[in-house]
Every structure is written in structure tokens, then in C-alpha cells.
Amino acid sequence: MKYETDLPVMLPLKRHQSAPFPGLKSKHILAVALIAIIGPCVAFAQAPSGQESPLTVLLNWAPLLLKGFIFNLIISISAMAFGTAIGAILGLGQISLIAATRHSSWFVTQFFRNAPWLVLLFFAMFLLPFEINVLGFKIPFPDWLKAILGLSLPVMANVSEIVRGAVRSLPSGQWEAAESLAYTRMQTLWLIILPQCVKRMLPPWMNLYSILTMATVLASIVGVSEVMTLTGQALASEGGRPELLAPFYGFVLLLFFIYCYPIARFTVWLEKKYAVIN
């Protein structure tokens, strides 16, 4: 018997529903963009005469960097698709009735969740073969594909947890009602449980996507030609001029911000929307 209490403070945390980013509008993003441009200007002041200004240099390289950034997005989308597919299966494994499946799914999930993304990326990079033989065909395993696989490992683990969490968060009455109506377990899962889970899973899933997108730059550490690698190469080509670093890295920051910020806003919006309905 619980005493009556008006102390939601002690109840499980509800997602707070106040304005997510109070007073932050597109004009503030503009301000951010401005800072990214001021960076080069500050740098310009230090540039020795007789050289192109950092801003010009950056503009010269911008198209290439943008191409690299698009490659990042391709990596992120592929890794997300791949990780989600496997993670969903793993997540369902975690709620399986077969103890062995459940425990092994749980272990795999925990293992890859506890491992740092970067370590997993190294893991995929160095331990996957350069090519695999399938029925006599040699399928090459280029670096970018390995990067996708490496990044989809943690995505998989996190999706698995998201699925499990969403299924767990449904009241057990839903399972019981379906059971008492003679649904099979499969039917219950596909017709009753999962459709209700999708809504609950969407916000954390998008959050995960955002995190993944930002993790694609890790691929630079293992040498995939994405935006950070290109930035490094561009800086090397410009002779490692230190005053170029701020504008170049600032530019990369800006690219990601422009892509990820709307996703974050949308996620918060979704969260609020579903919080009201449920």
C-alpha cells in the first residue's frame, strides 16, 4: 500500500515537456554560422601576407569537403539501416521465451553497448578480411564498407535496447488481453505489441541516428575518405598552416550542426506529441 503523494519527484522520470530549447530559433543558428565565419576572420588577422586568406582557402576546399560530408551521410544511413535491422532481431531475441536466445541476445547487446564506438570501429577495420569468398566469388570489403559494419555494431546494440525497452514499457495487460483472445505469441507481437512500440521507439531511434551521424567522423581515424579525412588531407595540402585549423574544423562543425540540429528538434517534437497522446 502506497501512501498518497503529490511528489512526482519520486516517480519515474517523465520526459520534461517544457519548451525544449527555450527561445532558440533559426536566427540563433545564423548566429552560430556567423561565429564559424568569424573564426576564419580572426585567423585572417594572423595570416602572413602574400598568402591566400583562410576564408578563400576554405571556399576553395568547400565543395570537396561537402562531397566528403555527403559520404558521411551515406555511411550514417547505411549503418543505421543495417544496425536497425540486426538490432531489431537482437531486441526481439531479448524478449524471446527461449532462455538461451534471451540470454545470448542480452549478452551480445550488453557487450557491444559497453564497448566504445571507436574501439568497435577499429575492431571492424582490422579484423574483417579485405575480401570474402562466397561460392568462389571474391567480394571485396572496402574500408568504407567496414566502417559501415563497424558503426552498425553499436547501433545494433542500442537498437536492441530500444526495442526491448519499448516492449517492456507496454503494460503487461496488453499481452494478457491478447493472450486471452487466443492470439499466438507471434500474432501478439506483430499485431498488438510492435505497432504500439513504434511510436515509443521513434524518438530514441532518431536520437541514436543523430549520435551515429556524429560518430561517422571516427571513420577518419581509420582512414576512410570522409569529411574529416578530407579536412586533414586538405590541411596537409595547404602545408599545415595552423591558422587554417579553426576555420576548417569550424566548417565541419557547422556542417554537422546544420544537419543534426533539425533532427534533434524533430525528435523533441515527436516526443512531446506522443507524450500527450499516450
30-59: which residues touch another protein (CB under 8 A)? 31-32, 39, 42, 48, 50
Q: What are phi and psi of 224, to 5 degrees?
A: -85, 145
Q: Which three cell numbers stand for residue 32?
A: 552560430
Q: Measuring CA to CA, which residue among 107, 109, 220, 212 is closest to residue 151?
A: 212
In degrees to the nearest 10, what's the CA dihedral of 182, 188, 193, 194? -160
> Which one of residues 44, 82, 123, 144 is an interface residue with another protein (CB under 8 A)?
123
Q: Indicate whether 134 belongs to the interface with another protein (CB under 8 A).
A: no
Q: Indicate whether 246 belongs to the interface with another protein (CB under 8 A).
A: yes
Q: Indicate whether 136 belongs to the interface with another protein (CB under 8 A).
A: no
Q: Indicate whether 174 belongs to the interface with another protein (CB under 8 A).
A: yes
Of 57 and 86, nearer to another protein (C-beta) is 57
Q: Indicate whether 183 belongs to the interface with another protein (CB under 8 A).
A: yes
Among all chains, which residue has been given the C-alpha cell 506483430?
Answer: 190
Q: How far apart are CA 271 and CA 275, in angstroms?
A: 6
**Ramachandran sector of residue 21 (left: φ over 0; alpha: ψ -120 to 50; beta: rest):** beta
Q: How far apart are CA 127 and CA 218, in angstroms?
A: 17
Of 81 and 139, nearer to another protein (C-beta) is 139
Q: Least distance in Å: CB of 135 to another protein?
A: 18
**Burial group, residue 199, by CB count within 10 angstroms (0-12, 13-18, 19+):** middle
Q: Indicate whether 28 belongs to the interface with another protein (CB under 8 A).
A: yes
What burial letters (b/e) apply to 163-178, b meaning 16+ CB within 10 Å?
A: bbebbeeeeeeebeeb
Q: How far apart are CA 40 and CA 54, in angstroms?
A: 6
Q: Indicate whether 18 belongs to the interface with another protein (CB under 8 A).
A: yes
Q: Indicate whether 145 belongs to the interface with another protein (CB under 8 A).
A: no
Q: Least distance in Å: CB of 86 to another protein?
A: 18
Of 95 and 260, nearer to another protein (C-beta) is 260
Q: Least distance in Å: CB of 89 to another protein?
A: 22
> Which one of residues 117, 147, 157, 164 is an interface residue with another protein (CB under 8 A)?
117
Q: Least distance in Å: CB of 30 to another protein?
A: 12
* Binding residues for another protein restricted to 76-115, rule: CB under 8 A: 111, 114-115
